Amino acid sequence: MGWKTLDDMDLNGKRVLTRVDINVPMENGRVTDATRITRIAPTVADIRAKGGSPVLLAHFGRPKGQVVPDMSLEPLVPALQEAFGCPVTFVERPSRDWIDAQPADAVILVENTRFTPMEEANDPQMAQFLATLGDVFCNDAFSAAHRAHASTTGVAHLLPACAGRLMQAELSALEAALSTPKRPVGAVVGGAKVSTKLDLLTNLVEKIDVLIIGGGMANTFLAAQGAQLGASLQEADLHDTAREIMDKAAAAGCRILLPSDGRVSRAFAAGAPYDTIALNADTRLDDDQMVLDAGDAAVADVAAAIDTLSTLIWNGPLGAFEIAPFDTATVAAAKAAAARTASHGLITVAGGGDTVAALNQAGVADDFTYISTAGGAFLEWMEGKDLPGVAALG
């Protein structure tokens, strides 16, 4: 662990510049899902308990360096106050003199950092200005850690820096899952396209023992082996790449598990009739048939593989989980992983937007060891890439 936490910092009497992710969904000026806000509450509470005053930095939406009133952070103040249990003071253009005039334990929210192009450009002048607003920098926005911005990396080089509680939890979970995992370790990687997860697959096969591939990605691998999958989603231009990944996995001793059967339909629609068909190199579907989900035999294979593991990473669904009955495999496999977590202490770490939605749909999100809401940063960590926002804390 090459980064400091709040436990390593003297915060008494300090203004603690705290980068958070409160980029939450809103409707009619009200927050509709406060998950990201409640997840930063422990950091705010701990800073105040240690005698510090949090000065919150955050972005909202994509204003592209312009002041966009609809993307102001001010409407988030009521939700922040409810989550923190204390007043939150919003400021559009702060100065250190103004901040020092506030109560010693004040929680201050600074306007959207992306209202200037200097933020995303990691402009040294903006980083220097931000550094004047605090005595210590605390990054609690792992979800923005893959961006080298003024408020994530620039200022971290100018002040004593540490990880907040959410960042600490994310990094600890990911290190336990991939850097120093309990073995055997496996991964479920699903979703529509191989092309979006090439780096992830290439990195994983060298680090894990079992790779379970699902969704449209599995179709590409099956087609690369010779299957003719009709109108199924697959990437014909990546067949060579899929074969290279399979060869690399074999050389590294990583077993790749593809679905042995699938739910096949002629219509991509909720409640569409389907047949369950064996999937292998000899499969021949009609031109209008589509593989939309893994079948029961494939789910049994996945469950059996999960039962052999000590650590499981999950990113992406096993089928078109948005529509029934093609959510069956994802839900069943997720329940198998959750049950193994409860009964045998399987370490389960999941992340990515579709993943969180799928696990919530299966009703098992609370049963996994850790679920990351970080999206892009989660993927880049799993791809083995250095995250600027994390590296700056070292």
Q: Which positions are annotated as active-site residues?
A: 36, 193, 353, 376
- Going by C-alpha positions, the residue among 344, 259, 329 that lies closest to residue 301 is 259
| Category of 244 on φ-ψ map: left (φ > 0), alpha (ψ -120 to 50) or beta | alpha
Q: Which residue is listed with tokens 């979006």? A: 196
Angle CA(350)–CA(353)–CA(359) in degrees, nearest 5?
Answer: 50
Q: Residue 392 has which token pair?
A: 């700056």
- Going by C-alpha positions, the residue among 215, 208, 279, 205 that lies closest to residue 241 is 205
Please state, in angstroms and rounded to a whole number, the distance separating the CA atoms of residues 379 and 366. Answer: 21
Q: Which residue is listed with tokens 């047949």? A: 275
Work out whether the CA dihedral 156, 158, 164, 169 comes out positive or negative.
Answer: positive
Work out whether the CA dihedral 31, 32, 36, 38 comes out positive or negative.
Answer: positive
β pairing state of 290-294 and 261-265: antiparallel
- Cross-strand bridge partners of residue 54: 16
Please state, in angstroms and rounded to a whole number, the distance separating the CA atoms of residues 187 and 348. Answer: 10
- Going by C-alpha positions, the residue among 144, 215, 157, 183 that lies closest to residue 376 is 144
